[in-house]
Each structure stands twice: as C-alpha cells, then as structure tokens.
Amino acid sequence: MNKKIEIFDSTLRDGAQAEGISFSVEDKIKIVRALDALGVSYIEAGNPGSNPKDLEFFLRMKNEKLKHGKLTAFGSTRRPDTQVEEDSNVQSLLEANTPTVAIFGKSWDFHVTDIIKTTLDENLAMIKDTIAFLKQRGKEVIYDAEHFFDGYKNNPDYALATLEAAKLGGADWLVLCETNGGAFPDEVYNITKKVCEKLGVKVGIHCHNDGGMAVANTIMAVEAGATQVQGTYIGFGERCGNVNLTTVIANLQLKREKQCILEDQLVNLASTARMVAEISNVSMNEREPYIGNSAFAHKGGMHIDGVTKAPHSFEHIDPRRVGNKRRILMSEVSGKSTVLSKIQKVNPNIKKNSPETQKLIERLKELEYEGYQFEGAESTFELIIRKHLGKYKPFFELKYYKIIEENHARGENTSSALVKINVDGKDEMTVAEGVGPVNALDKALRKALETFYPQLTEVYLTDYKVRVLDTTETTDAKVRVLIESTDGYNLWTTVGVSTDIIEASWIALVDSIEYKLIKDIEEKVRAYI
C-alpha cells in the first residue's frame, strides 16, 4: 500500500460554489499561503474560463513561489464539435499559467446525451483531445471524471471507456467524482477497486456529502487504492459540501499511517481551519471532528470523571496532536466538581459540601435559565463567584449612560454616548461618537475610566458576537452578547444578556474591564509575595 496520499484542496474553487461564500483576490492569496504552509499537494484556486476575478487572481500569483503545493486551475473539456485549440475556456486555462490543470468531463451517459446534448463518441473525443492538448503544452493534467459512480452504476462499460479516453490522452491522474454525493461506502470501495485494478493509472477520489458519508466514502476509496484525495479544507461546497479535508487528513494520518500533510504541521490543523473560516466569513461548525471547539468538550458528569482519570477513556486521540484542546464544560449535567474547580481558583478553602458551592450552583442554573451561558465566558463566571464570595469590589459606580442616535435619511447617521461615572467620590463625565451605539458606548466608558485606570489603554476587543436567543420573539427577543478582550498578554471572554442589545453589550463590557483590573491587582499582589 502507498503511504503518501496527495491532498488536493478545492476550497477556492468547489468551495466557492457553497452558499454564502464569496472570495476576494486577497482572501484567496491568504488561503493559498496557509494551505501551502501545511504541505497540501495541490491547491485548486479557481476557474479562469468562467470567472474573470479568478483569472485576475492567477495573474497576481505569477510571482508567488509556493513551497509545497502546486497551484491548479480548473476547467472543462472542450465544447462538443469544436477544435480544442479554439476553445476559449481551454485557452484561459493556459493563461492561468499554473503547473497543474484539472479538467472535468462527463462519465454518465445520460449527462452526455441529455445535459450537454452530444453523442457518446464525441464525448470520448472531447476528453482525449483536451487532455492531449494540455499535455503537449507541458501541463500536469488531473482528469476529474464527473458523476463517475452514478455513471458506472448506470453503464459501467461507458464510464470505463471515458477513463480509457483520458488515459489515452495522457492524463496524469484519473479522479473519480462522487458528484451528487449520495453513494454508500461499500459502493465507492468496490467501484474504486475495479478502476484501480483495470486502469493502471494513479487514481484520486472526490466526494460530496449529500448522504453524510463523504469522509467514509473517501477513506474507503483510499483503502481501495486511491492515492489522491480531493475536498475542501473545512468542507463547504455545492449543496451539503465537499468532503472535509481536516477530518480525512486526521483520520488517515493518525489512524491509518498515511502521510497527507507535513508531519510537523498536523498541530496547525485546527488553527488553519479557524483562519479559513474567518477569511471565508463562515461560522465554524463547532462540533466538527478534530478541529471544532466542542470536539473535545466534555459535559456529562461520568465523562468528566473518566477523562480526569485517563484521557483516552473518552477521547479517541490526544487533542493536542491536531492543535485542539480538552474543555470541561460547566452546566447542570456536568456535576458539582466542575463548578467547584472554578470556585477553588478564587478561594481554595471552599469544599464540595460548603453552602457557598450549593448557592453558586443554584445561581448558575438561574442565570442559564435567563439565557446566560458560561461555557464560552468563564471570566464573567469568575466575577459572579467573586461577588458571591466577597472577593470583589466595584471599580466605579455608574451614574448613567445615555445614547442618542439620529438619522436624517439613509446614510446620515450619528451615534453618540454620554457616560457619567464616579470613582472614589470623584465624578467623571465623557461623551464619544461611534459608528454605532455600542461602539460609542465602549469609547465613552473607556475615556472616562482611563483617567483613573491608565492601564486600560492596553485593552482592546478582539471579538464581538451577538446571538438572538428566542427567534420567535423577533425584535423584542433576548440577545446574548459575547465579548473577547485582550491586553496583549491574556485573552478573556465576558457575556451579557438582555432584551436590549445595548444593555447586553454594556454588561459584557463592564465585566471585561473589571476582570482586567482584578487580574492586574492579583499580579501586583503576587509580585509582593
């Protein structure tokens, strides 16, 4: 069996066909660099013939040297009844100036006759001619056999004949595409095995997830002899998406001794996923295997007890191997011991049966009922513990804030915030404008507090999230605001809930500032000891 599996990433091509995805040229360049750093073999980055933005991207890439990945342009076989030399899409493929091109052709007889409306023989000629033309111009050619499995199930002889045509044209790779995504792992295994035995050319696999089995189908194709895996990095693509490459890479490299990306880059699997998600402007599915925030998050009491005694009791791999981490969640099902460990960070003398522990668990449940969630906002939970244990003093007193928002027509808009606070008997009143009411409030509050606490100039927000909690209530629904802050050294997250987004943001902002000021005092105390 071959140890090396070539990873072919199509985030920037098939991924761009996902609902909600639209890449700028800059976005694409950032993603290419990230994938190249991991050691992905092929980076399919666009369709120059159908999309002028993609052609611009390939021209921008001409002077970029990649370390590991071969930049790949995507296109199709020539049109029916034309000369390949005169086909403008094929010409665009050459203009893209990449070492590798991927072209797709039809394997399913019904698609030939009913969709592109040509003869079965002309389709074979289109495949062979186009590949031969690109090979003569020095390209590495990857042939994507679209709908191969559906085609094979309908007419195996014809589907195999299309692969023979590609082989005759000189294709370097024959990639079997499970385009409609509905096949089962046993089918994919059996058909791939037949092709590998019969064709004697390197074979790849390209799966979609319409039956929820893209990962398994891909793995089974590799078991059957495929040595190239196509997919998108975090799985988005047409309809239900392409196979998620992060899952395939981790499965094959950690459990089947294959080499997919550079061994020392496996620890960057999760952070690269988050980067791709951010650039693509999609929310990560946090339950995603290996890379999601919840992938190693334990909530049930017996699970937490188990991983505390022996990690592999409830973890299939060590999360650090893919750059992820274990998380112990706090909630009504997680049991006292989790809450207790948070309490003991503030006061180590409190025990499981102390009355404070019970009171705090009850308070936690009440707040969860109101819409709070502390699983992602442990700094707010620490402040709640401190308030209960008397390990807290307010750093300022709010007299009031007022927001004035005026709009005279679309486009002319001002948001201002007035804040009046009192610190140790001294009033301070500030006003600030912002691009919206929360931004104005954030600025005004900092301006007022920096007079007393100059270290707050170091603090800035790194994330701001809004979740509408009860969508049946629409604009009078509750919202939960999560704020992530940093002072350049530490990162902390706070939460606020209210029916009013400004108030929810205020609660989270105040917690963020108070948390920073408490940590600074603790730091000083430690320095004295």
Kindly state whether residue 112 participates in binding a copy of itself, applying the rule CB under 8 A: no
**Helix (H) or strand (E) segment spanning residue 440:** helix 437-450
Kindly state whether residue 472 participates in binding a copy of itself, applying the rule CB under 8 A: yes
Kindly state whether residue 313 participates in binding a copy of itself, applying the rule CB under 8 A: yes
Based on CB atoms, which residue is closest to a copy of itself, 170 or 301? Answer: 301
What residues does 460 pair with on adjacent strands?
486
Phi first, then psi: give them for residue 428, nearest 5 degrees: -140, 130
Kindly state whether residue 311 participates in binding a copy of itself, applying the rule CB under 8 A: no
DSSP string, 327-395: EE--STTT-HHHHHHHHHHH-TT--TTSHHHHHHHHHHHHHHHHT---TT-HHHHHHHHHHHHT----S
Helix axes 25-38, 269-280, angle to 10 degrees: 170
Based on CB atoms, which residue is closest to a copy of itself, 61 or 250? Answer: 250
Task: Residue 271: count other Cβ atoms within 10 Å of its Cβ.
Answer: 14
Smallest distance from a copy of itself to CB 409, Å:
6
Kindly state whether residue 395 participates in binding a copy of itself, applying the rule CB under 8 A: no
360-389 binders of a copy of itself (CB under 8 A): 368-369, 373, 375
Closest CA to 133 of 52, 77, 191: 77
Applying CB under 8 A, among 43, 90, 161, 329 the residue interacting with a copy of itself is 329
Applying CB under 8 A, among 118, 180, 271, 354 the residue interacting with a copy of itself is 180
Stretch that binds a copy of itself, among 32-40, 119-127, 388-396, 495-503 (CB under 8 A): 495-503
Rounded Cα–Cα distance for residues 366 and 507 (Å): 17
Smallest distance from a copy of itself to CB 314, Å:
6
Applying CB under 8 A, among 85, 341, 399, 458 the residue interacting with a copy of itself is 399
Kindly state whether residue 179 participates in binding a copy of itself, applying the rule CB under 8 A: yes
Kindly state whether residue 267 participates in binding a copy of itself, applying the rule CB under 8 A: no
Alpha helical stretches, state H, 65-155: 88-95, 109-110, 120-136, 148-154
Smallest distance from a copy of itself to CB 191, Å:
16
Rounded Cα–Cα distance for residues 70 and 275 (Å): 21
199-258 binders of a copy of itself (CB under 8 A): 209-213, 215-217, 219-220, 223, 235-236, 238-241, 244, 247-248, 251, 255-256
Applying CB under 8 A, among 65, 114, 355, 525 the residue interacting with a copy of itself is 114
Kindly state whether residue 466 participates in binding a copy of itself, applying the rule CB under 8 A: yes
Kindly state whether residue 337 participates in binding a copy of itself, applying the rule CB under 8 A: no
Rounded Cα–Cα distance for residues 296 and 319 (Å): 7
401-440 binders of a copy of itself (CB under 8 A): 401-410, 413, 415, 434-439
Smallest distance from a copy of itself to CB 365, Å:
9
Residues 6+ apart with CB under 8 A from 368: 331, 332, 374
Q: Which two tokens stand for residue 308?
A: 């505390």
Kindly state whether residue 113 participates in binding a copy of itself, applying the rule CB under 8 A: no
Smallest distance from a copy of itself to CB 70, Å:
23
Alpha-carbon distance values, 158 to 149, 182, 192, 220, 520 (Å): 12, 21, 15, 24, 72
Instruction: Give the number of residues written for the chain.
Output: 529
Based on CB atoms, which residue is closest to a copy of itself, 17 or 347? Answer: 17
Kindly state whether residue 469 participates in binding a copy of itself, applying the rule CB under 8 A: yes
Applying CB under 8 A, among 118, 259, 344, 499 the residue interacting with a copy of itself is 499
Applying CB under 8 A, among 500, 521, 522, 523 the residue interacting with a copy of itself is 500
How many C-alpha atoms does 9 have within 13 Å on its Cβ side?
Answer: 31
Type of residue numbered 292: G
Smallest distance from a copy of itself to CB 472, Å:
8
